[in-house]
Amino acid sequence: MAKKMHRNLFLGLTLAASLLVTPTTYASEGGHGHEGQGHEVVAAKAMSPADTLVAAIKGNDNFKGHHDSHYFDAYQEEQIPGLTVISCADSRVHTSLFGMDPNNNIFIIRNIGNQISNSEGSVDYGVRHLPCKVLMVMGHSSCGAIKAAMSNYSRETPGIKKELNSLRKVMLKDDGKGSFKERWAKNVERNVDYQVNYACKLYNEKVKSGEMAVVGAIYDFNNLYGKGRGALVITNINGETNPNKIMNDSLLKGLGNSDLINHVSSRAPGEKW
């Protein structure tokens, strides 16, 4: 059973972008729609607290109605996720992008800026107490936490400032050259690289033994990498940021050349941390 689930896990990673299907597409932060792709672009509906809670409850009823009791048999007493993901808390980034059932397959930790230090205990649990094979640090295009860290956030609440302060080391690599949009995109990837490096040191024994791999990725719904909106772009494997070397990594041997081209890239200069 476990082997089958792990096989499905890597298949899901391979097909992540192509399997993402949503009936309604919402406008991104930049206001760009999906012209020519046959999708309706609408603004998110403003809902009252009561409407929001009722929608969540009815949504759960719909989920429950589509899964009989036996669906839950596999994880009555334990969980066996092979993928641990450190993701941003952004509402545009969810496990549905992997195109597989996240239940019992994905252990996800979320905070602003997909940072390890802000949730280290949760990451430790996913890595050290669950059968984690891939620890993925997943940033995303138009990350608000990175944008805030690049600006003056002194007026934010103490809690927000505390979480943004831990991004200062990443911001030190920003030389201020180029457009804000380009710097923003590079800093998103720089942050992923920084977090991967942090994880490789934290879980050095598991990485060196080959028991687990640390993967850096960007969920790019802005098409900043030219792979199409919604692509999962691999930017770092165990600290390696050179796209050509990543393409030859044994971790991606199950991908064909076209898939490698469509899912491996870099925008950041690949600094050493």
**pLDDT tens-digit profile of 196-239?**
999 999 999 999 999 999 999 999 999 999 999 999 999 999 99
CA 74 to chain centre: 25
Strands (E), 49-178: 83-88, 106-111, 134-140
Token pair listed for 44:
């998110």
The answer to whether residue 175 is domain-embedded is yes
The answer to whether residue 213 is domain-embedded is yes
Looking at residue 28, the DSSP 8-state letter turns out to be -
Q: What is the pTM of this model?
A: 0.83
**Distant-in-sequence, close-in-space partners of 45: CB < 8 Å, separation ≥ 6:** none
The answer to whether residue 54 is domain-embedded is no
Range of the domain at 98: 2-25+80-263
The answer to whether residue 68 is domain-embedded is no
* CATH assignment at residue 230: 3.40.1050.10
Which amino acid is present at 50? A
The answer to whether residue 61 is domain-embedded is no
Q: Under a CB-based contact definition with an 8 Å cutoff, are residues 235 and 193 in contact?
A: yes
Rounded to whole angstroms, how far apart are CA atoms 40 and 20? 16
Q: Specify the number of domains making up the chain.
A: 1
The answer to whether residue 86 is domain-embedded is yes
Tell me how crowded residue 219 is: count the other CB atoms within 10 A of its CB: 26
Token pair listed for 19:
């399997």
More reliable by pLDDT, 77 or 28: 77
Q: Under a CB-based contact definition with an 8 Å cutoff, are residues 197 and 176 in contact?
A: no
**pLDDT tens-digit profile of 48-83?**
999 999 999 999 999 999 999 999 999 999 999 999
